Chains A and B, each alone.
Chain A
């Protein structure tokens, strides 16, 4: 029987990576928050790979941290290996990735949540959204309790009508053996949301004792670990190793011979899977000429023998999976602990959302994570913190926080999903950001911490520290600009040693630093007045000076970009009223309801001619919308 339970300002449905960040954000902003999970053992669960970060994703984690989120600190505390990727490339694409101790990661996050004031964690399956007058009023759960709320963040991950596939074996289920959530979809449909089916998959977890690492290539972490969080001083741990091995012709033959048993081939899986995360059978089918594929062995934690086999996700029948894994060098005698499976789930069309992640139609109702058609823990966490912050700002009746494409990868992510209506799960990549050199992982705090401060997630202490760092960077840059290096023999000897052209006349230190072969550290011998500076400051100074010309170029592009972003489209605009707009464009514009001409120009199906028409219309009707 239904009964009226407590009231909250915010209810977060789902305690995965999106839900945790969302709930922490609202609670830390001082709002009474209820965090619901279908199973409390699944808080911050990593049902797929045991790692956080990677290209683009590492940037997201840093941005979450810079705004005052938890993910960075959580992985810093629980990592068992860490690597800065792309160090051979420029600073724009340096990306952090860490292997997590999965259980430790969950426990720490749960502990943080339990110890956060204003935050209640509760095992309950949400079954119904209570909506009145286009406002969210509460959430009903399976036990019958109705919790009242003013805002709600839906972060259901892959639980919504989850369906598991393993060859012919198919059953209703959530991720990693959890129960699926089978009621909320209907409630969402009732509320007017159009749902779609997406699919993702995960490889087998195997017993480390049955692996022969001597036949594989070791993959070590960095000697010196760079933390994710700007607040973590240093990380000193004994790192575990990962291993690399390859599939071969024998593997591929087994796959080909059993293809007709794959639900991907039989058509049983209707959900669309991501291209960038293909199952091994998809890889073999699509890249038939490739005679081997990479596989990485990633330990799942310090207190377990389970190893995640990256690159081998599959939904073939269990016995076929085992047979094909055993063709791989070092895995001849492999024992499975958890089988690979594909999971299909309901998600909404994120074009139904505003850039704040609030529903366009139902006030106070926010969405974050996989339900928005994205994939990945980091993408989920990023949306979680944005939805949480905006739910808080909504309660405070304050200006919402919207990050644009020139400010953050988070901005790129949200702008992409709300405008594109992608037909596959969305994964962040550095190539999605057009201002990549500005959105570096090293400067996430410079970009976002002031915003985190404004919305109330950055403590006084952290902010003071941040301002000091910022001042130190500026001061050192100025010093290097005004310090001239003279062409003395000592100087030129040092320069020759570095393999760079000697000086014939004086040159500012900052200028010298622009040479790709010269590092900030290597100039120390000829820079007698150098102050003691932190690693973060030194790194920032070096990047900002070395790439100054390129950074300025992108800054100029951002100015152009902002011009169109600032051309606002009034909310009440009637697109059917605009002569010259094509029917397709009218439909798209009506459904996306862009806030600016810039946003409109990024909607798929709206072409430059439509934008010109819209632009002219707005110019002509400026008077009409003046008081909007």
Chain B
């Protein structure tokens, strides 16, 4: 992370790796426009350096051999009104690893340097464009898998989380102010903090932190998604369920690296929770023969899944295979789906519904019956309830925040313990001050030796 001060041009692919419709190669640095000129050819013959700030231009990117690589849109953003506060050039080219990769290679050949992980954001931070917690939230935007995930990160950017921290900060400051005032002016009628107040306030702050830490669990799910496997015998309706869900709830970001024909997987977004759905049907249908798939393969997929949607066809008898599948489910979060209820009598349907356990539902993909119930159950199994997602707002999703919050909580516990064993307020204040210090490390209001490096090391390549 020692490149910050070089004014060299950094470049990276700023769209996710994969097969999206377009790919963007971004450059930042004082000479970004010069580098752009070396690769960009405009039909009008104008140079990138002559373009006004915040304008978009059509043209081609050529490689060092002079051959056209792609037809592109070039965006010029001049300092200081840019993300990094440096000159930025973005090249929108056609998606696909190969083309985007070639464009990136072209700008590197033309003098740019491949950016370190998180280096764009680091520059934004270093140039005073964003503060520490904003910098961290950006990382979460990059990582967010669904729109809901993005909005949580944006919330953090705009200070939703900062507000929470500020609340605890103020409470600590308030206590310390009162304690210290009494200590520094012992002979004046300074209102002293009573043990009861101290006890109440510390507990209140601990509750606030617990809520934040709880939200972190939801946060992880929202950010990383839930690996969900659809399992069941052939022809119970796995693919049609998958297709139905995808049609309705396909996630914002769908390009998964390494997508191959033998697994069908995708992201869907239900109630703000991203589900990474893997349809085991994909494997079978290409291989055609169920036995070939093998129990081992299924075992592996199920063992990695955080949620299993187990589908049965209610109109058929339970088979031997079915029993074999069920044996894999021990210890997993499983939602049992009884599909094709449209094929049985109404009265039988009712009896079935009456006998359902918590994690069982009846469904008719064909008639679109029970889909809402299915989604609700999926969210419940993932994060508790849909309201848990709402309640956990703002969400703490940054690993460093979580670990610091835990430290703050420990500081508060220590303060309580000191109080319980009868230590005086000046001793209790030591732990309260630590709590404040640690809290402030989250927002970057105080600086530890290695914070900056740690944070930026976490950033993914090419914001």
Residues facing B in A432-474 (CB within 8 A) are 434, 436-437
Distance from B140 Cβ to chain A, minimum over Cβ atoms (Å):
20
Which residue from chain A places its CB closest to the CB of B130 in the assembled complex?
A609
Which residue from chain B places its CB closest to the CB of A585 in the assembled complex?
B128
The residues of A that contact B4 with a CB separation of less than 8 Å are 580, 612-613, 616
The residues of B that contact A437 with a CB separation of less than 8 Å are 426-427, 430
Interface size on A, residues (CB 8 A): 45
Q: Is B404 an interface residue (CB 8 A)?
A: no
Question: Which of B125, B183, B433 contacts A89, CB < 8 Å?
Answer: B183
Q: Is B184 an interface residue (CB 8 A)?
A: yes
Q: Do the beta carbons of B127 and A85 come within 8 Å of each other?
A: no
Q: Do the beta carbons of B426 and A579 come within 8 Å of each other?
A: no
Q: Is A617 an interface residue (CB 8 A)?
A: yes
Q: Is A619 an interface residue (CB 8 A)?
A: yes
Q: Do the beta carbons of B185 and A579 come within 8 Å of each other?
A: no
Question: Which of A86, A554, A564 contacts B449, CB < 8 Å?
Answer: A564
The residues of A that contact B183 with a CB separation of less than 8 Å are 55, 86, 89, 93, 430-431
Residues facing B in A350-404 (CB within 8 A) are none
Q: Do the beta carbons of B128 and A56 come within 8 Å of each other?
A: no
Given A55-B185, A294-B188, A516-B422, A608 and B132 contact (CB-CB distance below 8 Å): yes
Given A429-B184, A553-B430, A616-B4, A90 and B423 contact (CB-CB distance below 8 Å): yes
Residues facing B in A575-628 (CB within 8 A) are 578-580, 582, 601, 607-609, 611-613, 615-617, 619-620
Q: Do the beta carbons of B426 and A582 come within 8 Å of each other?
A: no
Which residue from chain B places its CB closest to the CB of A56 in the assembled complex?
B184
Q: Do the beta carbons of A580 and B427 come within 8 Å of each other?
A: no
The residues of B that contact A86 with a CB separation of less than 8 Å are 183, 186, 426
Which residue from chain A places its CB closest to the CB of B183 in the assembled complex?
A93
Distance from B62 Cβ to chain A, minimum over Cβ atoms (Å):
31
**Bound form: Cα–Cα A560–B441 in Å:** 14
The residues of B that contact A607 with a CB separation of less than 8 Å are 128
Question: Which of B7, B186, B445, B447 contacts A85, CB < 8 Å?
Answer: B186
Q: Is B1 an interface residue (CB 8 A)?
A: yes
Q: Do the beta carbons of B5 and A611 come within 8 Å of each other?
A: no
Which residue from chain B places its CB closest to the CB of A583 in the assembled complex?
B128
Q: Is A517 an interface residue (CB 8 A)?
A: yes
The residues of B that contact A516 with a CB separation of less than 8 Å are 421-423
Q: Is B317 an interface residue (CB 8 A)?
A: no
Distance from B306 Cβ to chain A, minimum over Cβ atoms (Å):
37
Interface centre among B176, B424, B430, B451 (most CB of A within 10 A): B430
Q: Do the beta carbons of A619 and B184 come within 8 Å of each other?
A: no
Q: Is B278 an interface residue (CB 8 A)?
A: no
Given A431-B180, A608-B446, A578 and B5 contact (CB-CB distance below 8 Å): yes
Which residue from chain A places its CB closest to the CB of B176 in the assembled complex?
A431
The residues of A that contact B22 with a CB separation of less than 8 Å are none
**Bound form: Cα–Cα A560–B187 in Å:** 35
Q: Do the beta carbons of A601 and B447 come within 8 Å of each other?
A: yes
Q: Is A66 an interface residue (CB 8 A)?
A: no
The residues of A that contact B125 with a CB separation of less than 8 Å are 609, 612
Q: Is A563 an interface residue (CB 8 A)?
A: yes
Q: Do the beta carbons of A89 and B426 come within 8 Å of each other?
A: yes
The residues of A that contact B5 with a CB separation of less than 8 Å are 578-580, 613, 616-617, 620
Q: Do the beta carbons of B427 and A620 come within 8 Å of each other?
A: no
Given A85-B187, A579-B7, A609 and B427 contact (CB-CB distance below 8 Å): no
Q: Is A525 an interface residue (CB 8 A)?
A: no
Residues facing A in B1-28 (CB within 8 A) are 1-2, 4-5, 7
**Bound form: Cα–Cα A92–B424 in Å:** 10
Which residue from chain A places its CB closest to the CB of B447 in the assembled complex?
A608
The residues of B that contact A294 with a CB separation of less than 8 Å are 187-189
The residues of A that contact B451 with a CB separation of less than 8 Å are 608
**Bound form: Cα–Cα A296–B188 in Å:** 10
Q: Is A550 an interface residue (CB 8 A)?
A: yes
Binary contact readout A55-90 vs B (1 if CB under 8 angstroms, 0 otherwise): 110000000000000000000000000000110111
Distance from B130 Cβ to chain A, minimum over Cβ atoms (Å):
9
The residues of A that contact B189 with a CB separation of less than 8 Å are 294
Given A431-B180, A516-B421, A616 and B2 contact (CB-CB distance below 8 Å): yes
Q: Do the beta carbons of B126 and A430 come within 8 Å of each other?
A: no
Given A55-B184, A580-B126, A90 and B445 contact (CB-CB distance below 8 Å): no
Q: Is A193 an interface residue (CB 8 A)?
A: no
Q: Is B314 an interface residue (CB 8 A)?
A: no
Q: Is A547 an interface residue (CB 8 A)?
A: yes
Interface centre among B5, B176, B444, B451 (most CB of A within 10 A): B5
**Bound form: Cα–Cα A317–B418 in Å:** 51
Which residue from chain B places its CB closest to the CB of A611 in the assembled complex?
B447
Residues facing B in A531-589 (CB within 8 A) are 547, 550, 553-554, 557, 560, 563-564, 578-580, 582
Q: Is B104 an interface residue (CB 8 A)?
A: no
Which residue from chain A places its CB closest to the CB of B30 in the assembled complex?
A579
Q: Do the beta carbons of A550 and B187 come within 8 Å of each other?
A: no
**Bound form: Cα–Cα A42–B356 in Å:** 96
Q: Do the beta carbons of A554 and B446 come within 8 Å of each other?
A: no
Q: Is B452 an interface residue (CB 8 A)?
A: yes
Binary contact readout B400-440 vs A (1 if CB under 8 angstroms, 0 otherwise): 00000000000000000010011111110010011000000
Q: Is B448 an interface residue (CB 8 A)?
A: yes
Distance from B16 Cβ to chain A, minimum over Cβ atoms (Å):
28
Which residue from chain A places its CB closest to the CB of B441 in the assembled complex?
A608
Binary contact readout A37-57 vs B (1 if CB under 8 angstroms, 0 otherwise): 000000000000000000110
Q: Do the beta carbons of B433 and A434 come within 8 Å of each other?
A: yes
Q: Do the beta carbons of B421 and A616 come within 8 Å of each other?
A: no
Q: Do the beta carbons of A90 and B186 come within 8 Å of each other?
A: no
Which residue from chain B places its CB closest to the CB of A619 in the assembled complex?
B2
**Bound form: Cα–Cα A581–B353 in Å:** 67
Which residue from chain A places its CB closest to the CB of B122 in the assembled complex?
A612
**Bound form: Cα–Cα A429–B182 in Å:** 11
The residues of B that contact A430 with a CB separation of less than 8 Å are 180, 183-184, 426
**Bound form: Cα–Cα A553–B438 in Å:** 14
Given A564-B449, A579-B7, A601-B447, A93 and B430 contact (CB-CB distance below 8 Å): no
Q: Do the beta carbons of B424 and A90 come within 8 Å of each other?
A: yes
**Bound form: Cα–Cα A616–B427 in Å:** 37
Distance from B81 Cβ to chain A, minimum over Cβ atoms (Å):
16
**Bound form: Cα–Cα A477–B314 in Å:** 79
Distance from B9 Cβ to chain A, minimum over Cβ atoms (Å):
14
17 contacts between A and B (CB under 8 A): A55-B183, A89-B425, A89-B426, A92-B427, A429-B180, A430-B184, A431-B176, A516-B423, A550-B430, A579-B5, A608-B132, A608-B446, A608-B452, A609-B128, A613-B126, A616-B5, A620-B5
19 further contact pairs, Cβ within 8 A, besides A55-B184, A55-B185, A431-B180: A85-B186, A90-B425, A294-B188, A294-B189, A430-B184, A430-B426, A431-B176, A437-B427, A515-B421, A516-B421, A516-B423, A560-B449, A601-B447, A608-B446, A608-B452, A615-B452, A616-B4, A616-B5, A619-B2
Top 7 closest A-B pairs, CB basis?
Answer: A431-B180, A516-B422, A90-B424, A608-B447, A90-B426, A612-B452, A429-B184
Binding site for A on B (CB under 8 A): 1-2, 4-5, 7, 125-128, 131-132, 176, 180, 183-189, 418, 421-427, 430, 433-434, 444-449, 451-452
